[in-house]
A and B are shown apart, each in its own frame.
Chain A
């Protein structure tokens, strides 16, 4: 089946690194995604990783993919208060565009 799971909450101090973890079940997704949602707003695509890659870095964001364990993580370096939001990982089974989202991890950044 298709299922994506995340931890629900993470609290860090400003300047620290944040690591948000995600597990997924479908192995047919060519890409895996991280989205950010600020309160009352839609989703913003943060980054994505091709399923044949182990790691992708994009400025302060680092995505790690362990395909064997179906584990995806998002690391935010030097976390800022503006990073406070809900972060969703998503898979795209069969590459149909129908995204399956995790429950979302609420990131709280304390000054």
Chain B
């Protein structure tokens, strides 16, 4: 089946620094990737939709200047947390939708990465 990887799987950084998280679709092409954030014992909250070759679409309340998304190729999207603070500590999960998806067809062809645990000290 389709595989989505994330790197790193966990990272600890100092307050004020920036951290980049990669999301890769390993055996399929993804025009659309989604970035979610999950706090401990809570649900996943959609942060933004990343579209290959265009600007990301951010959900209400998500600061686009703080969470920079770049979807430079059909297999890679990156999320950069700029000037990280302790309140940014969270579990970040990406998902990727297969290029073969067409509107009106099954929408379960969306695959999730294993997540990246970010801790800001």
Where the two chains meet, the residues of A that have a C-beta atom closer than 8 Å to any C-beta of B are: 30-31, 33, 35, 40-45, 48, 88, 92, 95, 97-104
Given contacts A31-B106, A33-B108, A45-B108, contact A102 B43 (CB under 8 A): yes
- Across the interface, which residues of B come within 8 angstroms of A95, CB to CB? 103-104, 107
Of residues 1 to 50 in B, which have CB atoms within 8 Å of A's CB atoms? 4, 6, 32, 34, 41-46, 49
* Complex contact B103–A42 (CB within 8 A): no
Residues A97 and B34 in contact in the complex (CB < 8 Å), given A41-B114, A42-B113, A45-B108: yes
Q: Which residues of B contact A102 (CB under 8 A)?
A: 43
Give the total number of A-B pairs whose CB atoms are below 8 A apart. Answer: 57
**A44-B97 Cα distance, complex, nearest whole Å:** 14
Task: Take A97-B32, A102-B43 as given contacts and tell me if A42 and B108 are in contact as well, using a CB distance cutoff of 8 Å.
Answer: no
Chain A residues near B34: list those with CB within 8 A: 97-99
A42 touches B115 (CB 8 A): yes
A31, A44, A92, A101: the one contacting B43 at CB < 8 Å is A101
Chain B interface size range: 20 to 34
Min Cβ gap A37→B in Å is 9
Q: How far is the CB of B112 from chain A (nearest CB, A)?
A: 4
Q: Which of B78-121 contact A (CB under 8 A)?
A: 93, 95, 97, 101, 103-104, 106-108, 110, 112-115, 117
Partner of A43, one of B42, B93, B101, B108: B93
Q: Which A residues are CB-close (under 8 A) to B101?
A: 97
Question: Can you name 20 A-B pairs with beta carbons within 8 Å?
Answer: A33-B108, A41-B115, A42-B4, A42-B93, A42-B114, A42-B115, A43-B112, A44-B112, A48-B108, A95-B104, A95-B107, A97-B34, A97-B97, A97-B110, A99-B34, A99-B110, A100-B46, A101-B44, A102-B43, A103-B43
| Distance to closest chain B CB from A20 (angstroms) | 14
Across the interface, do A103 and B32 meet the contact criterion of CB distance under 8 Å? Answer: no
Q: Known pairs A30-B107, A42-B4. 5 more at Cβ < 8 A? A: A40-B115, A41-B115, A88-B43, A99-B44, A99-B46
